[in-house]
Amino acid sequence: MGRARPKQKKSAPAVSASVPCPVSPSPPPVASLLAKAQDLIIQCDYALACKFIERVLSRPDGTISETHRAREMMGVVLLELGEVDRAKEMFLALIPPHPDAPSPPPPSAYLYLAQLSDDDPRIALSYYETAIDILQAQLKGKSPVLENSEDGDDNETKSNIVRAYLGMIEIWMDPTHDLCFDPAASSTCDTLLSRALQIDPQNLETLQTLASVRLSQEKPEEALQALRTFPPLDDSTTDSQAHISSLLNTLSVPVRISRTKLLLECCAYSDALSLLEGILATDDSNVEGWYLMGWTWWLLAERTKGGDSSALQCLSDDGECLEWQDMARDSRDCLETCRTLYISQEYPDEPLLEHVQELVATLDGLGIQPSPDDEESGGVWEDVSDCDDEHEDVEMS
């Protein structure tokens, strides 16, 4: 008799605990992606900003306004990354006749396209004119301001109009374009300047452009007057020189470099030195700033050597006297600093280096050596109070 197999008790099927299915997180709002991209642009992280903007442009849930804004931001980023052709395509997608262009198109797109059309000055001028028309319509309330547009503020709008006028003047004055030789060039620049000054009579860049135009018209006195015109003092300060320095320091370094060159054309050496000190305080590795500082001291030394007392008067408010040799040494110090920075930075302006080497060679021939290492050169200029006639007369050139 076989052994009975015990019955196996069937176990009830286990009831699994309910596990919620993983839910994918919702994507961030398009607006937050645009805000992040804008922050990255401000931080100059253009490569990462590009990735965020690409996400916006690939999203189907963005509004039309957000898409337009993303395209404009992408154009700016591509410009910074050196992809000019792709940037131009982005801006062209924001203006007619592109079928997806907003209405009205953003004036900034026209301003960017104007700057990217330097190969065709007349097209660039037409872009500037269209931008001005849109901006003026916004000022008059005839045209809606785009959502999230920086042009909503009247001051910003006026500033953009002024910049457009100045851009047009720059095209008319550019000797690489035929427009520069047009008989109407001078009167056209005067008209554009008048319009810009009507919008902002005390805009420093407009007054600087006015000075440039007056120099081209061989009117140096009017040019210098424009360069020395500043907004009046406000209640916060009574120091006029500090007020002027503060205003000039708001300008970008390239604009201040251009202003220095205009001052030198007007023989306003003291103004030029003061401006250059501010530039080098902002960026003490600026090659062109050191070059211009050295060139200014050279010109002062040359004029002083030639017996021009006005050169000393502009520097001798305290009654102290600089010999031309002292000015020449200051020039040498600045030029040597310029040459050192030029080499270390691999600066691309070969004519500048050639001029520096020419000047240094001439100073060598005159027996002008750099200041000893224990003296501070290039930043603080030594005032010589003992004026004597021990130095022999040597021509600077």
Query: What is the reported pLDDT for 143?
Result: 54
The conformational region for residue 378 under phi > 0 = left, psi -120 to 50 = alpha, else beta, is: left
% of the chain surpassing 90 pLDDT:
72
Average pLDDT for 342-359: 97
The three-state secondary structure class of 93 is: coil
Cα-based distances in Å from 212 to 241, 250, 256: 23, 20, 13
% of the chain surpassing 70 pLDDT:
82
Query: What is the reported pLDDT for 378?
Result: 44
Does the pLDDT value for residue 106 go beyond 60? yes
3-state DSSP of 42-63: HCCCHHHHHHHHHHHHHCCCCC
Tokens 């205009």 belong to residue = 262
Average pLDDT for 111-128: 96
CB 247 within 8 A of CB 237: no
pTM of the predicted model, to two decimals? Answer: 0.80
Q: In the 8-state DSSP scheme, what is residue 382?
A: P
pLDDT in tens, 312-323: 666 655 435 788
pLDDT in tens, 235-287: 677 788 888 999 999 999 999 999 999 999 999 999 999 999 999 999 999 99
Q: Which residues contact 318 (CB under 8 A, 6 or more apart)?
A: 383
pLDDT in tens, 11-44: 545 545 555 655 567 889 999 999 999 999 999 9
Average pLDDT for 186-201: 96
